Structure 1
């Protein structure tokens, strides 16, 4: 159990780089669109190169074939689960500190059951009380942010994250439905693309590319800064590769619902690491009583929620 928790905590540490570095790039004047889109460009290059280096070029070709045969579905799925999700998350970093974004992001726990209901899945009612703790914590963090910024900045820093919290599980659920052949318009999956974790991620990355192209044409942002080119590469490696690998490894090694719940609960440490990272590297200030209480309640609610779901299994 100790090994699983340590692995999960390290994955949360690398995941938190997303919130800290996005905030850093915003403070340096970089446009949020490059902070978002360049991450997926790097991921596309890295994953494609990895498949070729490891002799899995066939899977790479199957990803492109699967996307071509069902491009409408995969464009919607990728644009929702990766494009809309991360563009909103990055946009919010221009208006709110990383720890505020990380805390608000815990609302995905509230959004996931609603997304499952949309797909007519049975949603256990256990843990609803604990989600209210998370929501209360987010409200307290919002109040803290409202005292430090204008109402407009507060809303632009909070509301996009809440929308992203729905977009991410929605896109992921579309992939799950496609893999199990239960979605309305079933994609013609060939060669087991969706049976491979890299294949699933890569086809979603490919599906998000049209979204990034259209958004770039519409917004016409100034060229990315040198710092953005470096920082987005770091985010792609830390969050997209290392953190995801560690998290999935910990979940794979878990043998019981209690161990799974412990691994999932470690992701609440993203809030703590984001807060500490912003204080250490960006000169941020420790939040006041309201913000501290909000972070504590969100962490407590997340841990209790995950444990309650494990007990229901």
Structure 2
């Protein structure tokens, strides 16, 4: 396979992964529309993801190295999975009732720059520096998100709107913070795990907290309706397993090609488009208009520009590629 075709396949795989990641926003919104409690939406996704990943792990690096790593240092695994998985998804699930799928999908794209902004709090070496070009592009994405939110809110946000915006913003920062924190722990401990093993390990380590969230959900809302159970299983399979594996495969294929890596990363901008189309056709959501539409376009352009900057910096550097992959969530 020549280099151009190889790069094209990587971009197409990344685009398909974006489609499966989009299921998070659409299916969570469907559960909220049906009256499903946000805590059940959050807990069920990761309770289902664990056995699904367990089935796939023999083909993706195996369970034994992960289990040894957790037993050796359980504290960091519990802490970083609590931030990167539990805080991340509890906030995202809570916000699902606040607006259409495209609004949540667009706002969550703040996670593209969140990892960069978290760097000074995690690292004590050259990685703590925030590149000015990336910071400038990040400001474009933030401006697009604000346009999205205020456009949807008719020029203003009420109390519920601000709460939802803050929840999605916290979620967008929690995911890369948790994943980068775990990567730093593994680096200091001299432990090598591939991307899928890290996802499985964090899913496993977060189970005690997910069981606590499930207990809370049961006390607040009783048993989850069957429809919500199926929707959560769909998110677990599509976003938690299929999309994650596809995205890691795509970025791994072109990690030494800056242009192709940027193109693969930029495919996540398609999540806003996918969420808009699926939400409108399946859930009957209104299409973004006016300032909201302009905000979605600005976010998309910002993601493409940021992907170019980040991928060129990461190309050929396995450590940076690991960070780039780990910043991907949903």
- Give the whole-Å Cα distance in 2 for the aligned partners of 1:201 and 1:235: 15
Q: Distance in 2 between matches of 1:179 and 1:51?
A: 19
- What is the Cα deviation at residue 10 of structure 1? 0.9
Which residue in the other structure is 1:14 paired with? 20
Give the 3 Å change call, closer, same or farther, for CA 157–97 of structure 1 in structure 2.
farther
Change (3 A) 1:149 1:224: farther
What value does the CA root-mean-square deviation take over the aligned residues? 2.1
State TM-score, norm by structure 1: 0.89
Asked whether the 8 Å contact 2:50–2:203 carries over to 1, the reply is yes
Which residue in 2 is equivalent to 1:266?
Answer: 267
Instruction: Write the mapping of 1:215-294 to structure 2, written as runs, cut at 5 A.
Output: 215-218=213-216, 220-221=219-220, 222-254=222-254, 255-294=256-295
**Unaligned ranges ≥5, structure 2:** 1-6, 315-330
- For 1:147, what is the secondary structure of its paired residue? coil
User: Which residue of the partner structure matches residue 35 of structure 2?
Assistant: 29
d(CA) in 1 for partners of 2:312, 2:236:
35
One of 160, 180, 183 as aligned partner of 1:176: 183
Question: How does 1:50-69 map onto structure 2 within 5 Å?
Answer: 50-51=56-57, 59-69=62-72
The CA deviation string for residues 17-46 of structure 1, in whole angstroms up to 9 with x for no partner, is 100000000000111111111111111111
Does the Cα contact within 8 Å between 1:112 and 1:166 map onto a contact in 2? yes
Alignment gaps of 5+ in structure 1: none
Structure 1 103/14 Cα, relative in aligned 2: closer, same or farther at 3 Å? same
**What is the deviation of 1:311?**
4.5
CA positional deviation for 1:65: 4.2
Q: Which of 86, 90, 93 is residue 90 of structure 1 equivalent to?
A: 93
CA pair 81-16 structure 1, distance change in 2 beyond 3 A: same
Shift of 1:83: 0.6
Task: Choose from 209, 212, 236 the match for 1:211.
Answer: 209
Matches within 5 A, 1:186-205: 186=189, 194-205=192-203
Q: Residue 156 of structure 1 aligns with which residue?
A: 163
Q: Which moved more, 1:301-310 or 1:234-243?
A: 301-310
Structure 1 stretches of at least 4 aligned residues deviating more than 6 Å after TM superposition: none
